[in-house]
Amino acid sequence: MSPPATPADDQGLALHHVGVRFGGLVALDDVSLRVPPGRVVGVIGPNGAGKTTLFNVVCGFVRPTEGSLTLDGRPFRPRPHDLTRLGIARTLQGVGLFAGLTVLENVVAGASHTARAGFAAALFGLPRSDRDESRLRARALNLLAELGIDKHADAAPGTLPYAVRKRVALARALIARPRLLLLDEP
């Protein structure tokens, strides 16, 4: 017999009997899992098993045809544009980096929602915006150093080996300091 549920048991992300169907194709069938805070949970399976579909459900790109999600014990209906505000970051199967930006700029782009200055300050180049940019660049450089790729900060992502680009994508996700980090094919 398991102990009674406590408020701590409700913390984190939970999927409850989630199913996804695309027409007659069953992509997910009765998937339940819990991701408590501070835990690493792996989802493994062969190609086509539904791992990316599961991530797409958590990120709101795909709506489940059955089941539900909760975040901290409350119903969770994710919308992609709300993820960073909720503290959720994700890397993609491919790297998904911006080709026209340097490695450093790609990483800083992952923290744009944490900027304190706001759009008007950035538009007019106010000192508050400069401080924000300096703070974010310093954090990005620290992350690149932690991941052993700081020497590539000024490089275009397309010129780098795939493994380095995957680390850049990880740095871009980590700079947001997410409470939940989804790594698709790390």
Q: Percentage of residues in the chain with pLDDT exceeding 70? A: 85
Give 21's strand partners.
26
* Domain spanning 7-78: CATH 3.40.50.300: yes
Residue 149 corresponds to which tokens in the numbers above?
């790729």
| DSSP character string of the chain | -PPPP-GGGG-SEEEEEEEEEETTEEEEEEEEEEE-TT--------TTSSHHHHHHHHHTSS--SEEEEEETTEE----GGGHHHHTEEEE-SS----TTS-HHHHHHHTTGGG-SS-HHHHHTT-HHHHHHHHHHHHHHHHHHHHTT-GGGTTS-GGGS-HHHHHHHHHHHHHTT--SEEEES--
Question: CA geometry: angle at 24 spanning 21 and 25, to 5°?
Answer: 55
Q: What is the mean pLDDT of residues 81-97?
A: 85
In the chain, how long is the greatest CA-to-CA distance? 63
pTM beyond 0.75: the answer is: yes
How many Cβ atoms from other residues are within 10 Å of residue 167's Cβ?
A: 22
Asked whether residue 93 carries a pLDDT value surpassing 80, the answer given is no
38: tokens are 């501070």
What pLDDT is stored for residue 122 in this prediction?
A: 47
* Mean pLDDT across 26-42: 93
Q: What are the extents of the domains in the chain?
A: 7-78, 103-179
CB-based contact 154:106 (threshold 8 Å): no
What does the mean pLDDT of the chain come to? 86
Read off the pLDDT of residues 131-169 as tens digits, 9 standing for 90 and up: 778 889 999 999 999 999 999 999 999 999 999 999 999
Residue 146 corresponds to which tokens in the numbers above? Answer: 């932690």
CA distances from 161 to 74, 92, 155 (A): 42, 16, 11
